[in-house]
């Protein structure tokens, strides 16, 4: 059994045997320019830590980067991010002049 996870030009390969790994790596290398970077430790936005019973995947550094880009690194955490008692209205407040920054944060999430 083999799993191939592909994201743009990053690939994670997981094999059930060493012979299968060698065979598939040889086939892929004959078609594509590629490097074997060894055991997985990072995949775009995901840090990978190995443990005895499996892998731990974490988005901590990715989340910290989004918080830093938003200028909120010095803000205090809150269990509820909004006032749950306030009633929102579609006509209240002012429109954002340039929503591009907001969109980039929403897209990153």
Give the model's confidence band at 83: pLDDT under 50 very low, under 70 low, under 90 confident, else very high: confident
What is the rounded distance in angstroms from the CA atom of residue 109 to the CA atom of residue 96? 20
pLDDT digits (tens, 9 = 90+) for 3-56: 998 888 888 898 999 999 999 999 999 999 988 888 889 888 889 999 888 889
Residue 4 sits at φ, ψ, to 5 deg, of -125, 115
- The count of other CB atoms within 10 Å of the CB of residue 61 is 11
Q: Report pLDDT for 108.
A: 84
The residue-averaged pLDDT of 69-76 equals 88
Give the model's confidence band at 92: pLDDT under 50 very low, under 70 low, under 90 confident, else very high: low
């Amino acid at each position: 059994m083999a799993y191939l996870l592909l994201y743009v030009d990053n690939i994670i390969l997981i094999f059930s045997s060493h012979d299968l790994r060698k065979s598939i790596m040889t086939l892929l290398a004959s078609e594509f320019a590629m490097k074997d970077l060894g055991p997985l430790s990072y995949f775009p936005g995901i840090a990978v830590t190995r443990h005895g019973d499996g892998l731990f995947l974490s988005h901590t550094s990715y989340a910290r980067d989004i918080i830093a880009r938003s200028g909120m690194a010095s803000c205090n955490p809150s269990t509820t991010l909004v006032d749950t008692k306030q009633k929102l209205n579609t006509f209240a407040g002012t429109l954002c002049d340039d929503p591009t920054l907001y969109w980039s944060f929403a897209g990153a999430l």
